[in-house]
Amino acid sequence: MTILDLYRKGSLAISALTLVLLAGCSSSDTDMAQSLTDTSSTAPVEQGPSPQALAEQRRREQMLTMTVYYFDFDKSELKQEAFESLRYHAQQLKENSAMTVRLEGHADERGTPEYNLALGERRAIAVQRFLQVQGVASSQLEVISYGEERPVPAAPAKPTGVRTVVLN
């Protein structure tokens, strides 16, 4: 066997090896391309939140922005309109046990300062009780009454005599 014969056999072997490698590559490329276009795969497709979940998230955010609750004149009973927002606040407090809230009771200028301090406290306690019934720990709630001493600005749709509890 001459060097020329060995060279021919080597070239043939290298050519055969190259064909095997190319065949291996081409089949994996084909498999890869097929797997990329195969829609019958059983892998779950990640989707964004459902429209209902998005609507609920928007509602929650809207309710959590409500932090002032109005009371009728000379009353300390929560109004029905406060319940939904306070439920969202309760849920947020339960989810974040390190979070605390100050419940500030306010009254308008009618009545004596002592009476208004007591009324503001009763109003703040009404909110505190509601939150506790919803499962909020009492250690997360602080009650304070400012009576008429620190009035809250009246909302445009509310009477000038502001009677509120503020969540801070």
Which CATH number is 112's domain given? 3.30.1330.60
pLDDT above 90 for 122: yes
Query: Tens digits of per-residue pLDDT, 19-40?
Result: 333 333 444 455 544 544 555 5
Number of domains present in the structure of the chain: 1
Adjacency order of strands within the sheet including 68-70 = 68-70, 164-167, 101-106, 141-147
Considering only residues 64 and 140, tell me which one the structure prediction assigns the higher pLDDT.
140
Q: Is residue 99 part of a domain?
A: yes
Query: Are 65 and 108 within 8 A, CB to CB?
Result: no
SS3 110: coil
In this predicted structure, the answer to whether residue 81 has a pLDDT above a threshold of 70 is yes
At 154 the pLDDT is 58
Q: Which residues span the domain enclosing 151?
A: 66-167
> Is 60 inside any structural domain?
no
Residue 101, in any domain of the structure: yes
Q: Decide if 133 is inside a domain.
A: yes
pTM: 0.63
pLDDT at 93: 94
Give me the chain's average pLDDT, please.
74
On whether residue 158 sits in a domain, the answer given is yes
**Cα dihedral 153, 156, 159, 164 sign:** negative
Write down the pLDDT at residue 67. 82
Q: Evaluate whether residue 5 is within a structural domain.
A: no
Give per-residue pLDDT as tens, 104-116.
998 888 889 999 9
Residue 62 is predicted with a pLDDT of: 72
In a domain, 38, yes or no: no
